[in-house]
Every structure is written in C-alpha cells, then in structure tokens.
Amino acid sequence: MLRAQGGEREAFGALYDRYLGRVYAYCYRVLGNHEAAEDANAEVFERALMALPKYRTGSFRSWLFAIAHNVVADAWRWRRPTESLSVAITVVDAGPAPDELAAMRADHAAVLALLPQLSPDQHQVIALRLAGLSAAEIGEVLGKPRNAIDGLQHRALLRLRALVATSAPMVTKGGG
C-alpha cells in the first residue's frame, strides 16, 4: 500500500490483481448486469488510483469497498438493473456432483431472487457479505456502527428465511 502511494505502478497493480475479482463480484451482485459491473469495476479502480495519495489509515479493503459502494450507488441513480440477480449463478464449482450442483443452483437462485425483497440497507449488507467483507468492514463502507451491521444482517437473514419458507416449492431440501 505504501509503495502504491509512493507512485509504484507495480504495487498498485498487485492491489488491483488482489481485489479485482471481489470488487467485480460485489458490483455484479448489486447491479445484476455484467456490462454495468465491468463499468463500475473500472470506475472503482480509477477512483482508487486517483484518491490513493489521500488514503491515510485503516483497512485498504474497506476503503476500496467504500469507493465501490459509492460507484454502485451512482450507477443506481442513473439506471435500474435490467437483469435479475438470479443471473449471477454462472460460476461452476467442480466439486459437487451434477445433481447436487443443480439443487444448489436452484436454492441459490431462489435466494438471490428474493434479495430485492429486502430493504435497501439489508440488500447492501448481504451483497457486501457475499463479496467477503467482515461486519466491521461493511460498517466502514456504509458508515454505520458494527452493531447496526450485525442487526441488519440478522434481520436480512430472518427475512430471507421467512421468504424462502413461503416460497418452499422453489427451494429443494438439503441444498446450499
């Protein structure tokens, strides 16, 4: 980080390589569209590079995802997603058998399809958790205390469980 702030392009390149996939996944989960996520991802790293001299302390990952949150919020102001979040299930894990994978995909698609029914704050918390951020980092990104994030996540999970229960025919038993 310090080398990147000092102007070393290779150092920023290493940070870029490390966080590119996670930031893209977050942007995609929120925006629900590959092209919009790619545009947002590029904007995040451009803004991060421009703001790098102003970065002082704290978690670089939190700082980067705060930028991503702002970029995604700006994108939402200008457009609504054209695809549902269920499109996000394109990553194939070689581990499970095909029937297990199909059941997990159905479960995952059912849950992702329910995310828009959460409050905007709950949706953001779940999207950031799916991007791999901790509750403390999410608090930094959203400008909320850790206990507020914990509460939002708890209520989001309760709401998702209730929504899954009411749409039980969509969800299979024993899936992810």
Q: Say which residue, 11 or 117, is predicted with more confidence.
A: 117
- The 10s digit of each residue's pLDDT in 7-18 is 667 777 888 888
Structural domains of the chain in order of their starting residue, each with its CATH number: 2-78 (1.10.1740.10), 91-170 (1.10.10.10)
Report which of 85, 89, 74 is spatially closest to residue 30, judged by C-alpha positions. Answer: 85
The pLDDT-based confidence of 74 (bands split at 50, 70, 90) is confident
b vs e for 59-70, b when ≥16 Cβ sit within 10 Å of the residue's Cβ? Answer: ebbbbbbbbbbe
Determine the Cα angle at 43 with ends 38 and 46, to 5°: 130
pTM of the model: 0.51
- The 10s digit of each residue's pLDDT in 139-171 is 998 999 999 999 999 999 899 888 888 876 544
Flag whether pLDDT at 101 surpasses 60.
Answer: yes
DSSP secondary structure string for all residues of 64-133: HHHHHHHHHHHHHHH---SS-GGGGTT---SSS-HHHHHHHHHHHHHHHHHGGGS-HHHHHHHHHHHTT-
Tell me what percent of the residues of the chain surpass a pLDDT of 90.
21
Q: What is the pLDDT of the chain when averaged over all its residues? A: 79
Question: What is the pLDDT at residue 82?
Answer: 56
